Structure 1
Amino acid sequence: MIIVLSGTREGREISYLLAAKGYEVFTVTAVEHGSRMVISNALTEAFEKQPVKDGLEKLIKNGSVRMVIDTTHPYPEGISTLAKELCRKNHIKYVRFVREEVDLPESPLLFPVYSWDEAAEKAAELGNTIFLTTGSYNLESFLKHPGMTGKRIIVRVLPDHQVIEKVQSLGIAPKNIVAMQGPFSKEINKATFKMYNSSVIVTKDSGNAGGTDNKISVALNLKIPVVVIKRPKLKEDDTNIVYTYNQVFSLISPY
């Protein structure tokens, strides 16, 4: 059995491709703000929901797992850290699929940072209407930053009632919540950034596949500064880091 830690387009595609090749595949996706997970069989579409730590540990320890393929977003790292440690303890191959980072163009309007607090600080310096395209994760880092006092914060999140409830519970007014499901075209990004009179855009570096280049291009054309949160550095120790589907499949073939 192969476990795919998903929640991304690549995770879904890898799961279906492996199932089509005849492998037994289980896809694990964290839900409810990462507190629980959904386990789905790529062939039967049967679902089971349970706490992440207990469920993942039970799945990995069942004795028939040959590999865990981690395609999750690099933000947050919680489920990846847990899976990697469980694989190490149980002598199971762990493979980390990573999107290529965006090659940032030269521009005085681009500000790469390496932490959420740094992003909040820089965004507060750059403008008064801050448009967050980073979802609900780590929203508290922006809201609690002293530099955000008096700033208008716009958040673009998934149109999920639990996510919206979380955002509202943190004090974001409904008029400042953009509940939309991506991917977003340049036209939609342009219209949204302009509609809210955004003075600064904040984005994670989710690679071109995640639309980061699209957002940056639109913002720069509108002369809006962009704060780009770069990914956490991956440790090269005992992790098989891959960037293409073929690399994933090549690591499975020896089994």
Structure 2
Amino acid sequence: MSILLFGGTAEGHSLARRLAQAGLAVTCSVATAYGEAVLEPTPGLTVHVGRMDADQMAAEMAKGYTCVVDATHPYADRVSENIRRAAETAGLPYYRLLRPREAAEGVLWADSPADAARMLADLPGNVLLTTGSKDLKTFTQVPDYRDRLYVRVLPSLESLSAALDLGYPAAHILCMQGPFPEKLNAALLEAVDAKILVTKDTGKAGGFPEKAAAARSAGAKLLVIRRPTQETGYTLDALYDFLTKGRERL
């Protein structure tokens, strides 16, 4: 049984390693060299590095895989759609790994990064932005973003360059690999005097409970960007069991 797994998330990497350790041949596709670096080497696990468009995905899927697993980020909706369509074209079963949601009280909800940026224009105080480097351009729409926004991004040259190129001051760029404990999140909020923490509904795997708790303890508002779609799929353990116990069916 040979699985093509599109990763880039902690739970995706965990599933890839577990499947390989169970004796399945797994190819994990990640977008960047950083994604490869944080993926622990495991016998039976091959890593493909580089972003793929829909045609490239279809070409890769034609190499004799048994099925396709989509373990990309919950907010990578366009990528997921490309994976789904490519799998359908290739005639391969498609399985979506879901990241369970986490409840939180007193949340300000935004429908998109652009919506969150508009809301920040009407909310006073410094902001700790933890939504990733891909949305940094959208948040330059916030008035005085160079003064108000502190951005936390992955410790990669790609992320740092993106922030600097958009005009974020070096002193306002925090390059760190999460997820982080509540105390560290709270310490960062206090260090930059942030009155608002902006995040996505990243679930437990993405450190959402710790962010929510830190915002409460620091007296900061929690602004959360909703997930783009309502999805169906499998939890990590359920998908692992399905693929390992049901390998004869595939």
Q: TM-score range by the shorter chain?
A: 0.7 to 0.9
Displacement of 1:215: 0.7
Instruction: Pick closer, same or farther for the CA change 1:160–1:82 going to 2, 3 Å.
Output: same
C-alpha distance in 2 between matches for 1:194 and 1:248: 40
C-alpha distance in 1 between matches for 2:201 and 2:171: 26
Show CA shifts across 1:54-96 (max 9, x none): 543322012x211111111122323211111101111111111
- What is the correspondence of 1:144-163 to structure 2 with a 5 Å cutoff? 144-145=141-142, 147=143, 152-163=148-159
C-alpha distance in 1 between matches for 2:29 and 2:109: 31
Partner secondary structure for residue 25 of structure 1:
strand
Partner in structure 2 of residue 122 of structure 1: 119
Partner in structure 1 of residue 90 of structure 2: 90
C-alpha distance in 1 between matches for 2:34 and 2:22: 32
- Segments of structure 2 that go 5 or more residues without pairing to the other structure are none
Which AA in structure 2 matches 1:155? V
Does the CA-based 8 Å contact 1:27-1:41 persist in structure 2?
no
- Name segments (4+ residues, structure 1) moved above 3 Å: 39-42, 44-51, 147-151
Show CA shifts across 1:5-25 (max 9, x none): 111111111111111221111
Partner secondary structure for residue 94 of structure 2:
strand
Partner secondary structure for residue 192 of structure 1:
helix
Matched, 1:139 2:136: yes
- State the number of aligned residues: 242
- Segments of structure 1 that go 5 or more residues without pairing to the other structure are none
Partner secondary structure for residue 134 of structure 1:
coil
Which AA in structure 1 matches 2:127? I
Which AA in structure 1 matches 2:52? V
Partner in structure 2 of residue 67 of structure 1: 67
Show CA shifts across 1:208-246 (max 9, x none): 12111111111112221110111111355xxxx112322
Instruction: Pick closer, same or farther for the CA change 1:33–1:142 going to 2, 3 Å.
Output: farther
Partner in structure 2 of residue 104 of structure 1: 104
C-alpha distance in 1 between matches for 2:94 and 2:41: 19
Partner in structure 1 of residue 172 of structure 2: 176
Partner secondary structure for residue 120 of structure 1:
helix
C-alpha distance in 2 between matches for 1:222 and 1:155: 17
C-alpha distance in 1 between matches for 2:190 and 2:40: 40
Instruction: Pick closer, same or farther for the CA change 1:20–1:48 going to 2, 3 Å.
Output: closer
The range that moved more, 191-200 or 96-105, is 96-105
Partner secondary structure for residue 85 of structure 2:
helix
Greater share of helix: 2
Instruction: Pick closer, same or farther for the CA change 1:111–1:50 going to 2, 3 Å.
Output: closer
Partner in structure 2 of residue 205 of structure 1: 201
Partner in structure 2 of residue 215 of structure 1: 211
Displacement of 1:51: 4.5
Displacement of 1:47: 4.8
C-alpha distance in 2 between matches for 1:142 and 1:79: 22
Displacement of 1:148: 5.2
Which AA in structure 2 matches 1:244? L
Show CA shifts across 1:163-220 (max 9, x none): 1011100000101001111121111111110000002110001001211111111111
Partner in structure 1 of residue 191 of structure 2: 195
Does the CA-based 8 Å contact 1:40-1:48 persist in structure 2?
no
TM-score by structure 1 length? 0.86
Displacement of 1:45: 5.8
Partner secondary structure for residue 126 of structure 1:
coil
RMSD: 2.5
Q: Aligned match of 1:246 in 234, 238, 241? A: 238
TM-score by structure 2 length? 0.87
Displacement of 1:115: 0.9
